[in-house]
Structure 1
Amino acid sequence: MYEAAFEKLRWQKRLNSERVKPFLKWAGGKRRMLADIRSCVPQHFRRYYEPFVGAGAVLFDLQPADAVINDINEELMNVYRVIQSDVEGLIKDLEKHRNEKSYYYKIRDLDLNEDYQKMSDLEKASRIIYLNKTCFNGLFRVNKEGHFNVPFGKYSRPNIVNERTLRGVSRYFRENRVKIMATDFAEAVEDAEEGDFVYLDSPYDPLSTTSYFTSYSNDGFTKKDQIRLHDLFADLDRRGTLVLMSNSATPFIKQMYNNYHITFSSTSRLINADGSKRGRIDEVLVTNY
């Protein structure tokens, strides 16, 4: 009897020590915008869809019981799948990494080697988390060939093995219905129906010709993609799906969504190689409800 009570207490303490929150630093992350986003989330919805999930700040804040998450970045979605299926194995593998410049470049350049494809999904996930924690400014950037090319960050104590958060995210995935995809954003929401909720957080329309971050994937996200996203927004609206979209407050975006409800927000730019350009930017939250 006492052993059972002690075990229950131990398990409860472990749950309390786990945190469901982003475990990666990601361009366009929404942690600093969550209050504004929460105010726009519908009170009731059925299934949750997030086709540009990124680091998952909104997903982990809402923690929906039934969700479809997606990102075109296969490396990122592999990390999510591994956390869902084998978080303890991932934590163990992360412990092998060293915060050393020569070691960093050795791990970074693994994707230049043909043997990279022979690595297990767990090893690839461990590599991405390690690079994210130790590379310059937490960027995920690839060149036109799809190779990770961010330099070493020179941080004194990077949190490479965040056991508390990784276990919390794994528990959330395993205890709920979370489908993980890595495909085109339109395909990810093909099944969305009336009463479902879709949050669209695509790469933003650039504020200037020099500010467009196109290296998140080796395909980029163009004006044509923004138009295709708008067409998807309109299609979801016709289906009776609840839709929330975040984007930069450029004239192009404001004009394209002027038939919907637009709320303005302002947040700090967290990731930019030039420290002088990490100020506040104007953003829009667009809803069809």
Structure 2
Amino acid sequence: MKYNKLVAPVLKWVGGKRQLLPEIRKYVPKKITTYCEPFVGGGAVLFDIQPEKAIINDINSELINLYEVIRDDVDLLINDLKKHKNEQDYFYKVREMDRDSDVYNNMTKIERASRIHYLNKTCYNGLFRVNQAGQFNSPFGRYKNPNIINEITLKAVSKYFNDANITFKCGDFEKSIKGIRKGSFVYFDPPYDPVSDSSNFTGYAKGGFGRSEQVRLKKLCDKLNNRGIKFLLSNSATDFIMDLYKDYNIEIIKAKRAINSNGKKRGEVDEVLVRNYE
């Protein structure tokens, strides 16, 4: 399968890995039978390495629906995206659709994918955020000319999804890789352990991802390690995470992070890459 430079993330995503790809690339094994990513998000690593066989999971059903529509109905999606307007009143009208179950439940998969793609391109900071009821609640972004119909990228990603053998899943991270075999490689990019109380971004999916989930993820890493399956994990370089993974290889890397309400506090932060191989 030929590598395609046009294959890239179609969404802006909190904690997206584009800027860290040079670091992550260093640690991706040369031989992988199945690439597994239980927290795929915007998919920067997936689209960078473009594995021929992959298991992709996310708890966010809107995101997985969008990826499935890109694979199955990209032309219909592109056509539907043309109806959207970069206007504040229109944005809030589209955003409110998930508040009315009758309206929302009658939307087709394509309409739902189009909605979430549009909201992501026009909302503040590309911040995919939901409230406790699971309703999209990021505000309007006031961008002059957002790329709502990124047709070239959408078509390139659609071709990749169809040329490769990719299984899409939507559910718990642990269940998504149940039964994978030696030779598989797992990249974990979970919601990060917060470096401060104010940085705790919990709105990506209703329910959040607290310390007990971080511990459950570490136990899953131990299980993979005991079975000889390689994993690479990204997280923040908090004392909690450093201690949790102290038995593994830890690289500290610098990352620029833009999601902060205080512009002065946006800047370089320490993150870790944890792995169980040399």
TM range (shorter): over 0.9
How far apart, CA to CA, are the structure 2 residues paired with 1:30 and 1:16?
A: 19
Once the two structures are superposed, what CA deviation does each residue of 1:147-172 show, in whole Å capped at 9, x if it has no partner? 11111111110000000000000000
What's the counterpart of residue 64 of structure 1?
51
| Larger Rg over CA atoms | 1
Q: Percent identity?
A: 52
What's the counterpart of residue 242 of structure 2?
254
* Cα pair 1:202 1:247 within 8 Å, conserved: yes
Once the two structures are superposed, what CA deviation does each residue of 1:181-228 show, in whole Å capped at 9, x if it has no partner? 101000011022111100000000110122110111111000000000
> Structure 1 length normalisation: TM-score?
0.93
- Tell me the CA shift for residue 94 of structure 1: 0.3
Q: Please show how residues 214-233 of structure 1 align to structure 2 within 5 Å.
A: 214-233=202-221
What's the counterpart of residue 18 of structure 2?
31
1:90 aligns with 2:65: no
Q: Please show how residues 16-165 of structure 1 align to structure 2 within 5 Å.
A: 19-114=6-101, 115-165=103-153
1:26 and 1:257, CA in 2 relative to 1: closer, same or farther beyond 3 A?
same
What's the counterpart of residue 202 of structure 1?
190
Unaligned runs of 5+ in 1: 1-14
1:175 aligned residue (150, 154, 163): 163
* Cα pair 1:87 1:166 within 8 Å, conserved: yes
Unaligned runs of 5+ in 2: none
How far apart, CA to CA, are the structure 2 residues paired with 1:33 and 1:273?
A: 22
* Cα pair 1:17 1:164 within 8 Å, conserved: no
What's the counterpart of residue 172 of structure 2?
184
Q: Note the aligned Cα RMSD (angstroms).
A: 1.3
* Cα pair 1:70 1:183 within 8 Å, conserved: yes
* Cα pair 2:199 2:260 within 8 Å, conserved: no
- Tell me the CA shift for residue 18 of structure 1: 7.5
How far apart, CA to CA, are the structure 1 residues paired with 2:254 and 2:108?
A: 41
| Secondary structure of the structure 2 residue equivalent to 1:173 | helix
- Tell me the CA shift for residue 86 of structure 1: 0.5
What's the counterpart of residue 254 of structure 2?
266
Once the two structures are superposed, what CA deviation does each residue of 1:52-80 show, in whole Å capped at 9, x if it has no partner? 00000000000000000000000111000
1:181 and 1:103, CA in 2 relative to 1: closer, same or farther beyond 3 A?
same
- Tell me the CA shift for residue 146 of structure 1: 0.9
> Structure 2 length normalisation: TM-score?
0.97
How far apart, CA to CA, are the structure 2 residues paired with 1:85 and 1:202?
A: 27
1:276 aligns with 2:264: yes
* Cα pair 1:18 1:167 within 8 Å, conserved: no
Give the letter aligned to residue 96 of structure 1. K
What's the counterpart of residue 236 of structure 1?
224
1:285 aligns with 2:265: no
Aligned residues: 275
- Tell me the CA shift for residue 277 of structure 1: 2.3
* Cα pair 1:18 1:165 within 8 Å, conserved: no
What's the counterpart of residue 11 of structure 1?
none
1:158 and 1:16, CA in 2 relative to 1: closer, same or farther beyond 3 A?
farther
Give the letter aligned to residue 134 of structure 2. G
* Cα pair 2:3 2:50 within 8 Å, conserved: no
Give the letter aligned to residue 256 of structure 2. S
